[in-house]
Structure 1
Amino acid sequence: MSAAPKDINSIRPWRTIERRKSRKIRVGSVEVGGDAPIAVQSMTNTLTHDIEATVGQTLALQEAGADIVRVSVPDPDSSAALRAIVDQVQVPLVADIHFHYKRGIEAAENGAACLRINPGNIGGQDRVREVVAAARANGCSIRIGVNGGSLERELLEKYGEPCPDAMVESALMHARMLDDENFHDYKISVKASDIFLTVAAYHQLAEATDAPLHLGITEAGGTRIGTVKSSIGMGNLLWAGIGDTIRVSLSADPVEEIKVGFDMLKSLGLRTRGVNIISCPSCARQGFNVIETVKTLEDRLAHISEPISLSIIGCVVNGPGEAMFTDIGFTGGSAGYGMMYHAGKKTGKTDNEDMIDDIVRSVEERAAELRGA
């Protein structure tokens, strides 16, 4: 197969996204911030002390491509279970800690790569100092997680309601508590369920700190509406160059969060994991059933992790043009046949009955080439 087409960003500069310059930290083996790829993460919804269930869900997220997985640590049984869970997975784990500082210490000692914690909620600077000491001793970073639904009472009294100023003030207050301990391996999030509030808060925070930022629209809803809200809000920020790691919050199987997260990044050219299918909505001109074909290809190509672009277009109006900028393409024709393309070049006709097998074979061959290179 011939070489892949030239990087589209090099010939279309208006696609270039200049990422905000942030300092780099580590979450276990994963770099976050600086020039590191934007990390995609999700969170388990199992009871963490159910080790088998939590390991199973974490492995499913890992297989889907998750860079980082967060688990809730609300009690001593959960923090104790972390050690067994960490030993059975490869992806770094973030321990979600609320209010009780001892859970943070235990999680750091039991293998968590990061603690999600608000320093101001755990009982004063002395307790923050203890958590920081445990984090530092165990190579553990921290995420300051500000949420529009749980702002400090004094900030709500000051501002009257959750607003960007209140959220950023909360974040910077928590950050100062870590800075005062000479601990700078932290990232920050300022999430809300309101898209406008979230985007405004992140823009303001991005100007106020060089800490890496974790993006998300919290409590976004089910798969469809949550994907829409997240894509609008997080897409706006990512396009502006803001964001070093993301979590798409969906009331759905956590694996769907990883899929949507990668699709979001692929759409902006920020990550390229897996097959990026470009397909038309179909119309009366289609030479084959586009919708069913794309559904089938999404399932049959889900195992491919190499970055490959694939165009599936129903007719010759747009098909050849789309194929010019994809690794592999198929354009519907007449009399039950369509045209295959590799790197924008015609490679021959394929009948509609065999096209799915031929497309899958072509993608798998391209993936093998990329692995070999």
Structure 2
Amino acid sequence: MTALRTTGRPSATAGGSPGRLLQLIRSRDDWTRQQLLTETGLSRMTLFERLDALFRAGLVYEAGSAGPTGGRPAALIRFADQGRVVLVLDLDHHTGRIAVTDLTGRSLREHELPLDIAGPPDAVLATVCDVGAELLATGVGETLVGVGVAVPGPVSPVTGLLRPATVMPGWDGFPVAAVLGARWPVPVLLENDARAHALGEAAERPGATPLLAVKYAHGIGAGLVLDGALLSGFDGAAGDIGHIRMGTAGGDADAPVCRCGRTGCLAAYASGYALLRRRGVTPSSSDDLAARLAGSADLRDGARLLGRTLAGLVALVNPQTIVLGGALGRLPSVVDEVTAAVRADALDRLTGDLEIVPSTAHHPAAVGMATLVTGHVYAPAAVDALVAG
């Protein structure tokens, strides 16, 4: 069972096959044939055979001269990513963010719409797919290579199917990839939205590892990225910190009821959903959580509980960076409360160099999903199969 989802970084055996060679070429933009020979240790004939296979498959191209060398100019070999796009469906509790991105996750076109993730999955998917189709139709000279779907629930790393989630009744085991694959015959990947968010944040900070990212909005979730690999967990539930139970002086009698049916979960105290319900507001897609809750005592208390929870994770994984994102997570007051709680509860040697910062990314989940899809589509085994075919 796979617990880590990798993103197609080069390995020590780069060049061992056409797929491995492409993985190496994708790692930077300025390779020459001579540099590839030196890096891979392949014979000239073997390297040229593998490069020829990649050229014929349309996966690499020559991009002009590498500059003056005193002899014949050396041509640059680059990954042919022009016009290749990913469709990202980022589905939150009450909002869908649909984007067409390049292979790095940079948004080319996007649209946001209200939705109810608790609705029938076929109806929800039909709505967001129609929007996705409209966005794709406006592109010129583009090739769709894959679809990434971020959802607020656990996704099995083995089957790729959703596991039971309180906020998504009826989605457990629903064949999301098959439904979307029938519309677009390309690879379709699912991932938990908070983990996709974490992978996107890690892409913004390539030197920060381990990186722990938190999505704090209507719900509370987290993701851990270690050396570019995303931790999914044994059954796809890694990062579901919203359902860690908080101790109370009065025991269960004083603890609020969570949507999962238990009492005392972090989400029951601190999530945007719980904070709105406490004010008598029924959460919906029109919620401006930051405007409603910023500066409130309830939010400060919730942020403090979140910080105490994260302090335990700091002791376990010793992250270099914690990124706080989501509508509530990036608020300055939340960052301050979380930082104070983490530093108060965790050992000084774990927090002395720890960076706790608000997210500055525009749409980190889209970057994360594009990264996963690209890593899957251009994984060495997939490229080798394409070249062989």
Both structures adopt the same fold (TM-score exceeding 0.5): no
The alignment's TM-score, normalised by the length of structure 2, stands at 0.24
Question: Which structure has more RCO (C-alpha within 8 Å, separation ≥ 6)?
Answer: 2
